[in-house]
Chains A and B, each alone.
Chain A
Amino acid sequence: MDSQNTQNTSDSNTTSSGSAYWMSLEQWNGDQALADRFENEFMSSPLSSEDGKDGVARRDFLKIMGASLALATAGCIRRPQAHIIPYAKAPKEITPGEPNYYTSTWFDGTEGAGVLVKTLEGRPIKVEGNPEHPMTLGGLSARAHGEILSLYDPDRLRAPVRNLQNKERTNKESVATTFEEADEKILASLKAGGVALLTGSKPSPSLKAIVSDFSKAFSGARWVQYDSLPVDAIRAGQKASYGRAILPRYRFDKASMVVSIDADFLGTFLSPVEFAKQWAKNRAPGKDMSRLVAFESFLSTTGMNADDRFRIRPSQQLDVVLSLISRVAKLSKGSVVIPGGISAAAKAFENAPKALGFDEVLFDKVASELLQARGSSLVIAGGLPTLTETQVELQVAVNALNSMLGNDGKTIDHDTAVFETMSGSAESLQALIADMAAGSIKTLIIDDLNLNYLLPQDSGFSEALKKVETVVYTGNRNDETGSASQWVLPAGTGLETWGDFELQSGVFSIQQPTIMPMYQTRSLGEVLLAWTAKAANAPQRVKSAATWRDYVMGVWKAEIQGSVELGSGKSFEDFWLQVLQVGVASNKGRRERSGSGRAFVGSISEASLKARPAVGAGYELALYPSVQIGDGKLGNIAWLQELPDPVSKVVWDNYLQVSPAMARKEGLNKGDIVELKVGDVTVKAPVLVQPGVHDSVVALAVGYGQKTAGKVGNGVGVNAYPLSSLAKGKSIFSGRAATVTKTSGRYDLVSTQDHHLMEGRKIVLESTKSAFEKDPSSGIHKHQIFTIWPEHQYTKNKWGLAIDLNSCTGCSACVIACQSENNIPTVGKKYVMQGREMHWIRIDRYYKGSPDNPDVAIMPLTCQHCENAPCETVCPVLATVHNDEGLNDMVYNRCVGTRYCANNCPYKVRRFNWFNYMKKREEPLHMAYNPDVTVRPRGVMEKCTFCVQRIRRGTNKARDEKRDLRDGEITPACAESCPSDAITFGNLNDPKSRVSKMFENKRSYKLLEELNAVPRVAYQVRVRNADRVMEANSHGPADNHDKSHGDDVKKDDKKSHGLLKQDVNEKTGELV
């Protein structure tokens, strides 16, 4: 790819795939190498790489076989000999091989979820969503699934460490220590006073209680909270607008019109699982379908799902909101009044849409839709891309708009159930740093926040840390912050200790340990309890608590039982048992209410607007957390590193996103290394030319470039945190001026977007709301099919899966859920580059329209379990066969690895084990295996089984209870964790089952119907709530979709496609 000049090259191009949809710029440009790749199912021969290193090379195989033959003659002895090791004293609740589930809570610093932890013989093997939790309702994000690998992370600290430091306060030597020794020494310094505790937000009643006890016991120790992904601007904006610093509860379930200003609420912002669940509910196609408009500096998960999308710079976020305010007021003809405090500011932005380069008609449409949806619209801004110089003003403006529209107290819950619990503050961190530098902090306890990695140089943190006499760090690694501390006392993971959470006010959930601490670790609560108990003036509740569990129970008894429905009219013991069983206690009625509209008292002065740095011709930085690893804490989890980014599909890296126009202007190509200079800091990063990025924005993910994460995460990507700034009480992550200089360096960025290409076959179908209302089957292309195959007969169950493309947000939680459930290996960057990723479910992301601001369609693809499966007919050893319930079985012990099946699969969903990936899994990661699923060896084909192990368990359970299977009783891992309930599984022989109804749905279609493979997976057409004529195709490659079908179906083709406006030829008015 030598040129990004898309306008010129694409029209004459005939080698590109020929669909209106395209997956990468290479495809759009008609890259020849890519076209060649279409021809081959497998990207390279297994013998072309150095095999010997990775496993047994083929020639050695015979030698080894010869040796084992000789051994076999030594007698009638089984090899290998295996043992059965039963318990000496079996715990009552454990039956070998039968899982036990424990309720718990997962929280990673900003996002939380109620979870069920599946354990086998006392060993947690999977995290699943807790359907009882009122926020997440059983959904779970990809990151939450990764918790299992955090537990078994071979690189985490296994015992306390003492770092002996030089005079310059750098680490000279790390020596092993014990908690007893540490306690003794630390207690002495705690008693000397000047104590501070620095943690992330801790929305935990028990932790709050123990911190206050700790503080009382040690002469008013100070507690400072700081979040790696700060949300304090929202709190500050709420305070300025309404007088109380809270984090409101956004209610997407009540919103029919959502406008997002750089808030990636479906991907990374606050509580994406909860938001996706609520948002998807209102997206059912029909009259009441909600609308989503995104103003974004780069393409995020939310932007991919937006009906209309505007590109902006981070510094223009405020302009957008203020001009929306003035347009809304203007269009309302006086019925909506701009609050006094911002009317002057809004007036200045009346004509901003033009200056911002927006389509003014579309912008006015957004404003009028907001006006129409008064009380049920929601304007939301937040996340790292909104943390600019004017982050608080932006929040004030957003609050003003929501108040004007009457959304406050309706779609914005400020009263009854708010996040009061996220209390991180850049301001108080800065005050602490100042005190540290002044020497007034003698002892600092840092809880598992690698601040020397997270905080920018201008915060002065690492220098100030050297002035603190005793630093205690509870991280699980001896990392940058750990090595600057004298004591590193690992805290372990949330799966090993007791705890509790109040993720939203009034929603109390419990964190249960599901395994004994694997190593010598103590959670923050345990550490503080141990120290407080030894203080002279320890509070009574500390003295009476023998363990941290007792303390947590004490808090629940005294503070929580009386405030929740579950607690009324029963003894504490009964209440506690119920809490452990349900996992959560909250008040239903309370969650239904949102409060009432508050009086808006905020103001934005013109002076503050004028003080903004002028928007020049240069580039602006936007930092963001990635959907995969968030703030970077999960950097050592291979599943997440190998999870393709929902937008770019790049794995194992972060990269500087630039727009195609900027790439043309600066002569940049994918993989060029550039020097990115922001302020005084320069970072070298590879470039990714990414459609949808604003032409003046460069975007980079934080959380990468770690040096101390462990074997998986070390050296993956570049660290973007130094490009942020912490000054004047604000964390600034975006909107800073950036200069980009191309270097001669090149770097391989690996993206899965061109793997498993569909060769231009149109498998993703879309429609628009208005077309759907006229014809619910719009967008679907029906074929006349002639078949000589007899139909299969199913007397019992007939399994089917339905995927609603309209609900799928592309968040990729299903991919990791499947990986965790089905023992799917990670293969590493090198092999992903060769197209050997093993995910059983992949999420295809298609672009449509011009590369500058394309529309996006998302499609999860898994084994289709075809009735007339093309894979079955070509297998020479019958390793893949149809079963009596319609599953396309994969029989691993028959498979000899011919790979014919993968070659013949039109959906490209089969994965081949090129190596014994599993043998390379380092201990104790092997403990995360699911024993219900075979671990596949080298040379074997594999693919989605519809979670046949769950089908077996489900049918067995029904048989034990002598009843029929209930609909929804069997759920594959993907459907179970899907935050937006896009996947439905069930029995097609039961006409009342949800999946049967989905199959009969008018929006339902089968992939490549014309091949007569008869897939057992039905997709529902994605419906876009936007009626604009997408002019995209006029620039795009010619749509030669018809060619792929052959002449016999050409006539039908025209009819069914006509309902999509973009398929209308502009000149002739004919359907193409």
Chain B
Amino acid sequence: MTTRHPENHPENQAKNSFGSYLSAALFVVFASLALTNLTGCEWGSIGYNKGYAPDQPVAFSHELHAGEYKMQCLYCHSSAERANHSAVPSLNICMNCHLVVATDKPEIQKITEAYNNNTPIAWKKVHMLPDHVRFNHKRHVEKYGAPQACHKCHGPVESMETMYQHSSLSMGWCISCHREKENQAPVSCSTCHY
């Protein structure tokens, strides 16, 4: 027969240790306030890197490509509608145009050289999910279509000269969408964590 010992009951445990929970919580609040002042990070983005905009080895501008020339997101990030990952395009995608377009510019010459030497470019990763999280691009693109789906997380990419992280990518932020009834999205842990 299944029995539950009262002392094991989660509620009682919570009561017993309420004091220590409170002090821990206060500590976290103060510590984050202090850190925010010191680091200059955007408020609320501690540990989440919202606003992170590293310099890339090649000064690629989404503003130019997606904004001015109105190129489709999926032209370069084609695996976003086919796979879990939305891969950064391989150089042969760039060279589809840049074999003939803007070949005199130094940044383009960088990628031409890399392409010819078959040496990949190491881009700095901007959007990094917390550990132990899996995200399926395909499902989200399928639901909203590109570029609407892209905008929801990546923000106004077509106006970004340098790519930056638009959303916090925190779990609370993910879940806020998943919980909305009309989205009919799953919220069980192993949807994302496995």
Contact = CB atoms under 8 A, between A and B. Distances in A.
Nearest to A1046: B1
Interface in B109-142: 114-115, 117-125, 128, 130-134, 136, 138-139, 142
Given A85-B123, A892-B132, A934-B132, 4 more contacts: A88-B115, A89-B92, A883-B189, A1012-B1
A874 B2 CA distance: 13
Contacts of B82: 95, 98
Contacts of B39: 72-76
B114 A892 contact: no
B193 interface: yes
B194 A884 contact: no
Q: Identify the 7 closest CB pairs spanning chains A and B, nearest first.
A: A883-B188, A90-B90, A76-B41, A82-B125, A87-B90, A97-B85, A889-B190
A421 interface: no
B92 to A, nearest CB: 5
A83 interface: yes
B79 A95 contact: yes
Contacts of B115: 88-89
Contacts of B49: 76, 78
A945 interface: yes
Interface string A907-947: 00000000000000000000000000110000000000100
Nearest to A73: B38
Given A86-B123, A88-B92, A876-B10, A934 B194 contact: yes
A373 to B, nearest CB: 49
Contacts of A887: 188, 190
A960 interface: yes
Interface SS of B by simple majority:
loop
B83 A97 contact: yes
Nearest to A876: B13
Interface stretch (A139-147, A279-287, A758-766, A948-956): A948-956
A86 B87 contact: yes
28 contacts: A72-B39, A76-B40, A76-B45, A76-B49, A76-B52, A78-B52, A81-B54, A84-B87, A85-B122, A85-B123, A86-B89, A86-B123, A88-B114, A88-B118, A88-B121, A90-B90, A95-B82, A95-B83, A97-B87, A883-B191, A891-B190, A891-B193, A892-B132, A893-B131, A945-B194, A952-B134, A959-B139, A1046-B1
A868 B136 CA distance: 30
Contacts of A78: 49, 52, 128
Nearest to A881: B189
B8 interface: yes
A882 to B, nearest CB: 8
Contacts of A1046: 1
B67 interface: no
A654 B115 CA distance: 54
A96 B125 contact: no
B98 to A, nearest CB: 13
A889 to B, nearest CB: 4
Interface residues of B, number: 57
A86 B90 contact: yes
B73 to A, nearest CB: 16
Interface of B: 1-2, 4, 8, 10, 13, 35, 38-42, 45, 49, 51-52, 54, 79, 82-85, 87-93, 114-115, 117-125, 128, 130-134, 136, 138-139, 142, 186, 188-191, 193-194
Contacts of A956: 136, 138-139
B193 A786 contact: no
Interface string A47-84: 00000000000000000000000001111101001111
Nearest to B194: A948
A787 interface: yes
A75 B138 contact: no
Nearest to A97: B85
A379 to B, nearest CB: 49
B124 A81 contact: yes
A47 B1 CA distance: 36
Interface in A73-129: 73-76, 78, 81-90, 95-98
Interface in A753-812: 786-787, 789
A82 B122 CA distance: 9
Contacts of A874: 8
Give chain A's interface secondary structure class: loop
Nearest to A81: B124
Interface of A: 72-76, 78, 81-90, 95-98, 786-787, 789, 868, 873-874, 876, 881, 883-885, 887, 889, 891-893, 933-934, 945, 948-949, 952, 956, 959-960, 1010-1013, 1046
A456 B189 CA distance: 58
B10 A98 contact: no
A893 B132 contact: yes
Contact of B88 (A73, A84, A786, A891): A84
A889 B132 CA distance: 13
Contact of A90 (B2, B38, B92, B121): B92
Given A873-B8, A956-B136, A891 B124 contact: no
A794 to B, nearest CB: 11
A390 B139 CA distance: 67
A96 B42 CA distance: 32
A74 B45 CA distance: 15
A789 B2 contact: yes
Contacts of A89: 90-92, 115, 118
Given A97-B83, A786-B1, A881-B189, A83 B131 contact: no
A518 B141 CA distance: 37
A857 B71 CA distance: 65
Contacts of A933: 194
A1006 to B, nearest CB: 14
A893 B120 contact: no
Contacts of B10: 873, 876
Contacts of B122: 83-85
B2 A1012 contact: yes
Nearest to B8: A874
Nearest to A895: B132
Contact of B83 (A74, A85, A96): A96
Nearest to B84: A97
A943 B8 CA distance: 22
A876 B16 CA distance: 13
Contact of B193 (A84, A88, A893): A893
A122 B24 CA distance: 47
A895 to B, nearest CB: 10
Contacts of B40: 75-76
A259 B120 CA distance: 62
Contacts of B132: 891-893, 934
A96 B136 CA distance: 13
A872 B10 CA distance: 11
Contacts of B54: 81
Interface core residue of B1, B89, B93, B189 (most chain A CB under 10 Å): B189
Contacts of A88: 90-92, 114-115, 117-121
Nearest to A893: B132
A409 B58 CA distance: 72
A893 B130 contact: yes
A934 B194 CA distance: 6
Among A72, A74, A81, A86, the most chain B Cβ lie within 10 Å of the Cβ of A86
A776 B158 CA distance: 68
Contacts of B124: 81-84
B181 to A, nearest CB: 15
Contacts of B13: 876
A81 B55 CA distance: 12
A76 B52 CA distance: 8
B123 A83 contact: yes
Contacts of B186: 884
A467 to B, nearest CB: 50
Contacts of B38: 73
A883 B193 CA distance: 12
Nearest to A1013: B2
A587 B93 CA distance: 45
Given A95-B83, A873-B4, A86 B121 contact: yes
